Structure 1
Amino acid sequence: MSLEFRHIAHAYGDVTALRDVSFTAPTGEITCLLGSSGCGKSTLLNLAAGLLDVQHGSVLVGGDVLAQPGANPPPEARPVGLVFQDGALFPHMTIAGNIGFGLPRGNRGEVDGWLERVGLSGLGARYPHELSGGQQQRAALARAMAPGPKVLLMDEPFASVDIVLRRRLRRDCRVLLREQGTTTVMVTHDPEEALDVGDRIAVMEEGRIVQFGTPEDLHERPATASVGAIFGGAQVMVASREGDALRTPLGLWPVTCVAGELPDAAALDLLIHAETLDCEPDAEGLWVRDVHPLGVASRVLLRNGSGDEMTVQTTSPVAEGSRYRVVPRVGSVRAFAHQ
């Protein structure tokens, strides 16, 4: 079933955490809430879980109101499963006991089935402290999914696991969730993780959703320069229109460098990819502050006299301490109205 947020607003005293948030996590899909610390993503998850009361707006599951002001059932009365960053397994119970906690007594066959699904066959008699961090997260996932919740909520479930294991865990997790057809909402601050796991991504900034769409939508058609920078590995620079040129901190650039129409705005946010910039020797240009070889190419950090910096990726030889002019290629820059 779908999970829907309608006009959610929330505050902690005088601090506003969410501002009129509305979106729907589709049935059977994995939706990632992506943003930096303090953007409101965990608050949104906790409102759905029942760990916080809804102050304004409503939360719906399958079109039916789950929570709204004055009607906030506790977590145990909601058709949701929860997976936290640390797993939160019961330390005094075996792994089999943890998984079977929300199941009818004596349902050993179903517990064994979940142990197999998450790659823990034969480990049901162990206790949480006897498993690795990755194994504990697998057990936590099985415990949350075993009762068959309509919605699964996951709060940074892989953050405490090392990077190599994390990649495998999120791959296996995605496959399992898709096979089970579980509607899932997962909080993460890692763009790579959101792209790897999510069918849809809600990018949050300062308590609002700035873009909601598929990974392809966000990567190929960002709504703002900041979204483009998150997913495309691009740099953002503020510029202004000056005749047939753009006035940037790095000098005048021709408007032909912009792909598509130029926004009608006094100030512009330019989205720039390091590999689409060229360096040309110029005695009055930017100083080369650092050259980092990457194999075939090098990443070059340049700085002007005011301290503005730009990274260029080039296959041409560039020496530290020399000076260059940065030139964008035709149609390589995206321009947005300055936020």
Structure 2
Amino acid sequence: MSLQFDHIAHAYGDVAALHDVSFTAPTGEITCLLGSSGCGKSTLLNLAAGLLSVQSGSVWVGDEVLAESGRNPPPEARPVGMVFQDGALFPHMSIAQNVGFGLARAEQHAVEGWLEAVGLGGLGARFPHELSGGQQQRAALARAMAPGPQVLLMDEPFASVDIVLRRRLRRDCRRLLRERGTTTVLVTHDPEEALDVADRIAVMEGGRIVQFGTPQELHEAPQAASVGAIFGGAQVVRAVREGSEFLTAFGPWDVASASGDVPESLAIDLLIHADQLDCRADPSGLEVRDVQPLGSSTRVLLAGEGGAEITAETAEMIEPGARYRVVPKPASLRAFAQG
């Protein structure tokens, strides 16, 4: 079953958290909600889970309304499973009892199979405090999936796991979810995690979805400078267009350096990769703040006006304190109107 959010708006008192959000998490796929703290991603998840009441808009599972204004079934009445950041296992129950909590007595025989599926075979008799953080999250995943929910919601499920084990856990998790065909919505603030796990990504900023698509679509055709910075490894430079120049904190850049269409807006965000900037010695240029050898090239950090900083990569030998101009290479800029 797909999970659809249709024109969702939500506020906490006078503070708006979501603004007319609409998207569909496709059946059997893993959709990531990606954004910084406070962007509204956990609010969306909690609206679907029933931990918050829908104020405006509606949430659908398949062709049926799950929740809408004035109709908000409790969490236990929804065909939805939930995995929290800390696992939220019952400490007084064994791992097997935790996994079997949502199962009828006749279904308890399936518990050991779920433990095997998440890599916890033979550990059912242990209690949560006897497992590592990663093992606890595996148990929480098994508990959420065992009742066979139509949709699985995961809120920062790997955040509390040791960084060394995190990548393996999320890849094991992706494999299991894809094998089971579980429609999943996962909240994260980590772009690497989204790329590692997701079939589709919704990038959120300020309670809105900036772009929704596959990782490849977000990388190759970003619709906002912030999306390009996340998935293309570029840096964002704010500029004002004046005639044939972009006026930046690092000096004027030629508009002709941009590839594709340039918005008519005066306020522009420019995307530029560090290796697409030429460094040219100039006594009145930018001060080199830091130099980092990378083997075949050198990464330099330069200071612009108002405390702005920019990174360039060059084959030259550059010393800290030297002064250089940075000039974009032809067709190296991507320009977006500031939101």
| Distance change (3 Å), C-alpha of 1:305 and 1:266 | closer
**One-letter amino acid of the counterpart of residue 332, structure 2:** S
Report which stretch shifted further, 237-246 or 59-68.
Answer: 237-246
Matching of residues 189-338 of structure 1 within 5 Å: 189-338=189-338
Partner of 2:169, secondary structure, is helix
Q: 2:71 & 2:306 partners in 1: Cα distance?
A: 56
Cα deviations across residues 7-48 of structure 1 (Å, max 9, x unaligned)? Answer: 111111111111111111000000101111111110100000
Pair 1:188 & 2:210 matched: no
Q: Secondary structure at the match of 1:218?
A: helix
- Alpha-carbon shift at residue 332 of structure 1 (Å): 1.1
Unmatched runs of 5 consecutive residues or more in structure 2? none
Query: How far, CA to CA, are the matches of 2:83 and 2:314 in structure 1?
Result: 43
* Greater shift in the superposed pair: 34-43 or 236-245: 236-245
Give the AA of the match of 2:318.
V
Superposition RMSD on alpha carbons, in Å? 1.2
TM-superposed CA distance for 1:256, in Å, is: 2.7
Aligned length: 339
Q: 1:52 offset after TM fit, Å? A: 0.5
Secondary structure at the counterpart of residue 296 of structure 2: coil
Q: Which residue of 2 aligns with 1:33?
A: 33
Q: 1:246 Cα deviation (Å)?
A: 2.3
Secondary structure, counterpart of 2:265 in structure 1: coil
Partner Cα distance (2:155, 2:41) in 1: 9
Q: Secondary structure at the match of 1:101?
A: coil
CA distance in 2, matches of 1:109, 1:233: 48
CA distance in 1, matches of 2:237, 2:320: 23
User: How far did residue 132 of structure 1 move?
Assistant: 0.2
Q: Distance in 2 between matches of 1:106 and 1:28?
A: 27
Unmatched 5+ residue regions in structure 1?
none
Paired with 1:74 and 1:174, the residues of 2 have a C-alpha distance of 28
Alpha-carbon distance in structure 1 between the residues aligned to 2:6 and 2:304: 47
Structure 2 counterpart SS, 1:43:
helix
Summarize deviations over 1:224-258 as a string: whole Å, max 9, x none. Answer: 11111122222111223333332222112222321
2:244 counterpart letter in structure 1: D
String of CA shifts for 1:136-161, please: whole Å, max 9, x gaps. Answer: 00000000001100000000000001
Q: Report the CA distance shift for 1:294/1:109 in structure 2 as closer, same or farther (over 3 A).
A: farther
Q: 4+ runs of 1 displaced by more than 3 Å?
A: 106-109
Q: Residues 199 and 305 from structure 1, CA distance in 2 versus in 1: closer, same or farther, beyond 3 angstroms?
A: closer
Residue 259 (structure 1) shift? 1.0
1:141 maps to 141
Pairing 1:8–2:11 present: no
Could you state the TM-score of these two structures normalised by the residue count of structure 2?
0.97
- Summarize the Cα distance change of 1:223–1:305 in structure 2 as closer, same or farther, 3 Å threshold: closer
TM-score (structure 1 length as normaliser)? 0.97
Asked if the contact 2:270/2:336 (under 8 Å) is kept, the reply is yes
Q: Residue 210 of structure 1: CA displacement?
A: 1.1
Residue number in structure 2 paired with 1:48? 48
Q: Does 1:173 align with 2:173?
A: yes
Q: Report percent identity of matched pairs.
A: 73
Give, in whole Å, the separation in 2 of the partners of 1:254 and 1:308: 19
Give the distance between the partners of 1:71 and 1:255, measured in 2 at CA: 53
CA spacing shift, 1:212–1:258, aligned 2, 3 Å = same
Q: Distance in 1 between matches of 2:262 and 2:183?
A: 40
Aligned residue in 2 for 1:72: 72
